[in-house]
Amino acid sequence: MKYVSIVLALFSSAAAAQDAMTAAEFEAYVSGKTLFYEADGRRYGVEEYLSDRRVRWAFLDGSGQCKDGYWYEEAGQICFVYEDNPGPQCWSFYESGRGLSAKFESEPDGRLLYEIENTNEEMLCLGPDVGV
């Protein structure tokens, strides 16, 4: 048990020492891509990164509902604003050999997301009003 605690502490320290991506680095990494994220070991959401810093987000909860928005840099963080929520949601992004990781900075104990899949395909948005 003590060994596990030491390993976790070292991992946390290494992640904290890593510099967050700049807006230019983030834009170069995500432009034209669709990234799938996990949180707490479960598929969480997908985001399509469009031109002019526009985005399309959907939770992977089976609803198929997408939210359009945009991102910008503020105080070293990448902030997102979506059509259904005008308040910014700010994140710090980090790049590793396995892809992106992100820490939600808008809350004290912010959620951690990890990139699990990367594609150049468009998202499929079904929404609540699809059908006959």
Tell me the pLDDT tens digit for each residue of 54-101.
Answer: 999 999 988 878 999 999 999 999 999 999 998 999 999 999 988 999
Tell me the pLDDT tens digit for each residue of 9-51.
Answer: 434 444 555 899 999 999 999 999 999 999 999 999 999 999 9
The Cα 57–Cα 125 span in angstroms is: 9
Name 31's bridge partners. Answer: none
Q: Report H helices in 1-132.
A: 2-17, 23-30
> For the whole prediction, is pTM greater than 0.85?
no
pLDDT greater than 60 at residue 2: no
